Structure 1
């Protein structure tokens, strides 16, 4: 019999990650609005270069958050399929996939927060 892991912890973490993704998606929208305000008020070349930098970073993070959300939903579907077979446990491979996605989320969260702090310093200078 293959090793199995209880799903309660996995489901709670997946739900936490989905809430985190929703928060960061909203945060991105706010940051993009502030960036547009800065871009409209400042036409200096150095400001426009920074605006472009942040626009690109926001696009990258939005894509990453979307992919993470899809991967969490996919992991949830895999969990449901495994539960149909076992009742209350999921296989180690599904738990390992969950761990990989969760690590990606934690990494994205750290990078996003660093970017947000960088952007806040920029916006404090130009808003």
Structure 2
């Protein structure tokens, strides 16, 4: 089995990419919430309003997930920066393992978020 090596600089670079992606998601959620506000004023049907509430809850939950992801990235970056200041060249296998697990978690969240967006866009097509 081939061993993968993750250097601190590469992990930090990937963290920066993820932060940008999370910032984009936050902006999208703001836009989606604005759409919900528009729809609330247009519809009185209880079924439609229940769906609006469902999406509002999903967006709130996903916003919380984004905050958790940002916090984890920040903790990893602080740890990496500390290692950099002490000029530690040794590979931290535990950190690398955590990074790979977190990468998998980010990929899962990408999928969940993409599905939510698709579902919401279908809803908008129907009720906008």
Q: Taking structure 1 as the reference length, what is the TM-score of the superposition?
A: 0.90
Structural mapping, 1:47-126, within 5 Å: 47-126=48-127
Which ranges in structure 2 are unaligned for 5 or more consecutive residues? none
Number of aligned residue pairs:
124
Residue 88 of structure 1 deviates from its aligned partner by 4.2
Unaligned runs of 5+ in 1: none
Q: 1:27 Cα shift?
A: 0.5
Provide Cα deviations, 1:48-89, integer angstroms capped at 9, x if missing partner.
110111011001100000110010000001112222344445
- Greater strand proportion: 1
User: How much is the aligned-residue C-alpha RMSD, in angstroms?
Assistant: 1.5
Q: TM-score, normalised by structure 2?
A: 0.89
